[in-house]
Amino acid sequence: MSLFKARDWWSTVLGDKEEFDQGCLCLADVDNTGNGQDKIIVGSFMGYLRIFNPHPVKTGDGAQAEDLLLEVHLRDPILQVEVGKFVSGTEMLHLAVLHSRKLCVYSVSGTLGNVEHGNQYQIKLMYEHNLQRTACNMTYGSFGGVKGRDLICIQSVDGMLMVFEQESYAFGRFLPGSLLPGPLAYSSRTDSFITASSCHQVESYKYQVLAFATDADKRQETEQQKHGSGKRLVVDWTLNIGEQALDICIVSFIQSASSVFVLGERNFFCLKDNGQIRFMKKLDYSPSCFLPYCSVSEGTINTLIGNHNNMLHIYQDVTLKWATQLPHVPVAVRVGCLHDLKGAIVTLSDDGHLQCSYLGTDPSLFQAPKVESRELNYDELDMELKELQKVIKNVNKSQDVWPLTEREDDLKVSAMVSPNFDSVSQATDVDVGADLVPSVTVKVTLKNRVALQKIKLSIYVPPPLVLTGDQFTFEFMAPEMTRTVGFSVYLKGSYLPPELEGNAVVSYSRPTERNPDGIPRVSQCKFRLPLKLVCLPGQPSKTASHKLTIDTNKSPVSLLSLFPGFAKQSEDDQVNVMGFRFLGGSQVTLLASKTSQRYRIQSEQFEDLWLITNELIIRLQEYFEKQGIKDFTCSFSGSVPLEEYFELIDHHFELRINGEKLEELLSERAVQFRAIQRRLLTRFKDKTPAPLQHLDTLLDGTYKQVIALADAVEENQDNLFQSFTRLKSATHLVILLIGLWQKLSTDQIAILEAAFLPLQQDTQELGWEETVDAALSHLLKTCLSKSSKEQALNLSSQLGIPKDTGQLKKHITLLCDRLAKGGRLCLSTDAAAPQTMVMPGGCATIPESDLEGRAIEQDSSELFTNHKHLMVETPVPESQCERKASLDILFLLMGLLSLHVRKVCDYSSEVRDAIEFEGLDSGLRINAKEMAAFKAEQEERKGCTDAGANEE
């Protein structure tokens, strides 16, 4: 046994599923035997009153039948039990039991038994008081300095103190400003009651002030009191402790002065009689109960404090003297003399674990037996060790942490989306214009192998898609049972969702023999929603502001085969142009090249390209998989459209800034509104009428401003939510293009998605910009770093809204540059060094020197648009150029040559694209002016190259 565990002397468990609190435990010689031995009195909220006299045969024994002296069911819940001189005419001890609406005083007596059953105990009701108000707690003492008897004071739930002089009711007083009752104690030294209010203040009231104050039956002040007659209840002293008080104890020992101990939620206070702090102790845990029990040295007091970590700490003032571990969380602790054990610690938990223990250690009397000496056969031991290692290896191979059959076959979740729309649309309260909004039915089937309980099915779809039902609950499912639930999905807003994918998550409990309540587990299933749920056939458009070209390695497929529901059947079954119109009103055009293996998507809104592009790639993959072709791939050779992406980021960030400003203005106007209200209230309460000085006009104008600002905040929140949804769509598109551009693996795309899409919904406290910037900074510092200096940089641990989006744009551009140079995305830092690889068309390298950077600056700006303001040209000193003239000019010639070749490739690809899609857009054709400008640019660059060669 550990040195710091409480030594169990006697313990028992009370009742079955009964509840207890700090007032349910008391130690006293309740049967007046006079031998100095205490009995344990316990009352429960179920109404059971029990009295124990433990006397175990040996340490650690459980409760015997003869240990229970008395057990009575009083029917009403027992809130508190106390022992004192509560009956007039005698100084014998009696038991006071507090119920919610009644106070009962009993006498406990025992009769000597003449048979083996032992002594018999019984209780007798001496008197009772029916309470007019619901009781909370009570205290007792010699109120007013009476001798030889104890009076009882009960505090009600509504803050009334009711004083009883034994069999008669004395008076009742309401505490001023009482909202919730707190702990109550009586100080005989100052003849005052000490309690804690809901304002986190410790308050003291003199008994004489309570006795002569106004009767509690008249809580409202009368006119006579307003004019100065009568006594008002005035507090003696108050102390603000800044937290809720859990308990109050007042002790007075011979070696120390009288003190008031207050246990708070995080602190422990010791006060003088006048309310001044003697000392306080900050606790590193959450306390549950306490008891100042003795004074072993002059001027100090020992205190027991129990906490929610099953620990009991012993303090001498503020010094920790001992800490011991308990088998339960104590809610009440007492110290008394039980049998022959003086200073026994009695603890009670909220579920009825009653234990008597003591501190210290017992010597261990165990001695290890002698081992028979025998010779060891090392060959046999080696063979046995090898066999055991084989067994362990086979077990590790065949088994997992959780058995696969139990983990996978407990519950199977499947989802099926109806191929047709609902005959009657379930869409209600939609805002998509004049279009008829369809709805589609989704059925989720649950099939379990074993008995399950507490099954909860939750459905999630990205907004503005909504569900007719998203929560389904089943209390129990028998083995081999199937449950099917159905719900409808439809578009509610006038903007597009970031993805057409839903998720069904099931949480359930699987009961076992050791755990009947069940082991919590989770299973999920994803389902795809049809494109026609948010899109209708539309007219193809010849012109568009945003265009994307996707390259493939297979011949083009007729769009009619890929999108059968969005075009009419043609004669040749070859459709290479198709239009899509979303329910929000935007349009997207899809073109398939007749002569090459390319597809073009174009639209007026950049974020609208995402759904059609993603759906095109998915349907192409499914089409070729059905054909048995496994080597189908897609690629992207154009420039990453960062300019359009940055515009959406700026718009989203601007809405966040506007929201922050509007909330500040709303807070200022609310403060102004409350200040004007206080001024008006003061004027209206004044006995002498005074002019309002246009305060009513100012109040009306401020009220209108508050309403207008609140409406503006709501409108900005709606716009911010829509902007975030569009930003997510654009982010998905950028990640897809980067993955096709650099041919990233699935794991690398998952890293990009985790970095760019860390939040489901952003707020003013934690937004998309600062979260993504921190993630990208981490990637650039680790796997995409160029040197060890970048890896040594420390990132800020706190996230806050940035001043602007410049740094975020710079990091996004730098990420693309590092990927273009050959960087690899991984979670480890092993791949921090860049790798050399061949770049596809439209990709630029990162300059290693300043001259190379100036040589290819124009080309890099064309690849990643709208980041020219992020590139700062560092001037090189002349001395440095002279020292490395030959090497720099060589780099310049190489950069100009690569630039020249790349421009020719890029221009030839543009001409090829224009020729491929010439049937639809005449604006795509190259004109003579552009050709002449290109030739002039070629001649100019050639002249620069020749001049550099001559200089060399």
Contact residues for 864 (Cβ-Cβ < 8 A; gap 6+):
639, 640, 642, 813, 816, 817, 844
Q: How confident is the model at residue 922 (pLDDT cuts 50, 70, 90)?
A: very low
Tell which residue, 345, 292, 352, 267, has the closest CA to residue 24. 352
Question: Mean pLDDT over all residues of the chain?
Answer: 80
Q: What is the pLDDT of residues 379-403, one digit of tens each?
A: 889 999 999 998 888 776 654 444 4
For 463-485, write each residue's pLDDT tens digit: 888 999 889 998 888 888 889 99
- Can you give the pLDDT at residue 136? 94
Q: How far apart are CA 194 and CA 270, in angstroms?
A: 13
**Greater pLDDT, 726 or 949:** 726
Statement: residue 812 has pLDDT above 80: yes
Instruction: Please provide the distance, in angstroms rounded to a whole number, between the alpha carbons at the two ends of the chain.
Output: 88
Distance of alpha carbon 786 from the chain centroid: 37
DSSP 801-815: --S-SHHHHHHHHHH
Range picked from 188-197, 908-917, 938-947 for highest mean pLDDT? 188-197
Res. 343: pLDDT tops 90:
no
Read off the pLDDT band of 371 (50, 70, 90).
low
User: Residue range 658-663: average pLDDT?
Assistant: 91
104 forms beta bridges with 97, 128
SS3 546: strand
Q: Give me the percent of the chain exceeding a pLDDT of 70.
A: 78
Is the omega angle on the peptide bond into residue 464 within 30 degrees of 0, that is, cis? yes
Q: Which of 556-565, 895-904, 914-923 has the highest mean pLDDT?
A: 556-565
Token pair listed for 366? 């165990």
At residue 379, what is the residue type? D
Distance of CA 309 to the CA centre of its chain: 23
Give the model's pLDDT for residue 41.
Answer: 95
Rg (CA), the chain: 41
- Residue, of 207 and 371, whose pLDDT is higher: 207
Q: Is residue 2 predicted with pLDDT exceeding 60?
A: no
Q: Tell me: pLDDT of 858 over 50.
A: no
| Residue 378: partners with Cβ closer than 8 Å, 6 or more residues away | none
Helix (H), strand (E) at residue 290: strand 287-294
pLDDT at 162 over 80: yes
| Lowest-confidence segment of 59-73, 587-601, 926-940 by average pLDDT | 926-940
d(CA 72, CA 124): 11
In terms of pLDDT, which residue wins out, 486 or 254?
486
Residue 571, pLDDT score: 45
Q: In this predicted structure, what is the pLDDT of residue 841?
A: 37
Q: What is the pLDDT of residues 265-296, one digit of tens each?
A: 999 999 998 899 999 999 999 999 999 988 87
CB within 8 Å of 374: residues ≥ 6 apart: none
Could you identify the residue written with the tokens 């005035």?
Answer: 234
Q: What are the distances in angstroms from CA 905 to CA 80, 817, 900, 908?
A: 91, 20, 9, 5
Residue 220: pLDDT above 50? no
pTM of this prediction?
A: 0.51
pLDDT of residue 795 exceeding 90, the answer is no
Residue 405: is its pLDDT beyond 50?
no
Question: What does the pLDDT look like over 425-439, one tens digit per residue?
Answer: 888 877 766 678 889
Report yes or no: 556 and 574 within 8 Å, Cβ to Cβ: no
pLDDT at 843 over 80: no
- C-alpha span between 677 and 679 (Å, rounded): 5
| pLDDT exceeds 90 at position 80 | yes
- Residue pair 17/328 in contact by the 8 Å Cβ criterion: no
| 513-525 mean pLDDT | 85
Binned at pLDDT 50, 70 and 90, residue 821 comes out as confident
CB 443 within 8 A of CB 415: yes
